[in-house]
Amino acid sequence: MPSHSRPHTSHLNSPESPMAEIILFHHVQGLTPGVAAFAETLRQAGHTAHTPDLFEGRTFPSIDDGMAFAREVGFGEILERGTRAAEAFPASVVYAGFSMGVMPAQKLAQTRPGARGALFFHACIPVAEFGEWPAGVPVQIHAMEADPFFVEEGGDIDAARELVASAANAELFLYPGDQHLFTDSSLKAYDPAASGLLIQRVLTFLAQV
């Protein structure tokens, strides 16, 4: 079993380790210090991580505040901002997103040819929303087993299970707890043990894509 502590990443910086380029979309509270710290962890492991700001500098103290802003901007517009942001980077990337950020990450993984992989944190959208899951694109989905946003409200867990059942290389990881944004070290929801294990699994995934 992997340790729940944050992994040492120095061994992943060797020339033999394949490095990935990741586009990482933030959650509904914005491009927080915790999202930036997560991206920096990936960089310290030798990967390239881009963090487009879909809120143009705005961050919010709560999910409710962020959701109010997202509704004002329009989820369609946020999705398009993510799509436009990706145009600045190569197609052969890993698309990743936290919660709301899964929307552009999943759309791009399914519709922009050349994706190396996908990482969905705290959310998953029905595959049919964007067509079919592309053959040969691996994906990991991570969430807490009692997260009401993932398990109850939007049917994300059903979408995740459907994706795992239909894709050739897909994994769903559920962690003990009921927090939503447990990977963001700048929020009260942060869970160091669960986040550390998630990062271990993500780094293993990135080393293989």
For residue 155, the model assigns a pLDDT of 86
Residue range 70-95: average pLDDT?
Answer: 96
Query: Is residue 1 a part of any domain in this protein?
Result: no
Q: What is the pLDDT of residues 19-42, one digit of tens each?
A: 999 999 999 999 999 999 999 999
Look up the domain containing 202 and give its range. 16-208
Q: What is the pLDDT of residues 60-82, one digit of tens each?
A: 999 999 999 999 999 999 999 99
For residue 153, the model assigns a pLDDT of 74
The share of the chain scoring above pLDDT 70, in percent, equals 91
For residue 1, the model assigns a pLDDT of 32
* Per-residue three-class SS string for 61-125: CCHHHHHHHHHHHCHHHHHHHHHHHHCCCCCCCEEEEEHHHHHHHHHHHHHCCCCCEEEEECCCC
For residue 17, the model assigns a pLDDT of 52
Starting from the edge strand earliest in sequence, which strands make up the sheet with 21-25, in order? 48-50, 21-25, 94-98, 117-121, 139-144, 170-175
pLDDT over 90 at 196, yes or no: yes
Query: Is residue 4 a part of any domain in this protein?
Result: no
Centre a 10 Å sphere on the Cβ of residue 153 and count the other Cβ atoms it contains.
9
Query: Is residue 8 a part of any domain in this protein?
Result: no
Q: What is the CATH number of the domain that holds 176?
A: 3.40.50.1820
pLDDT over 80 at 117, yes or no: yes
Domain count across the chain: 1
Query: Is residue 9 a part of any domain in this protein?
Result: no
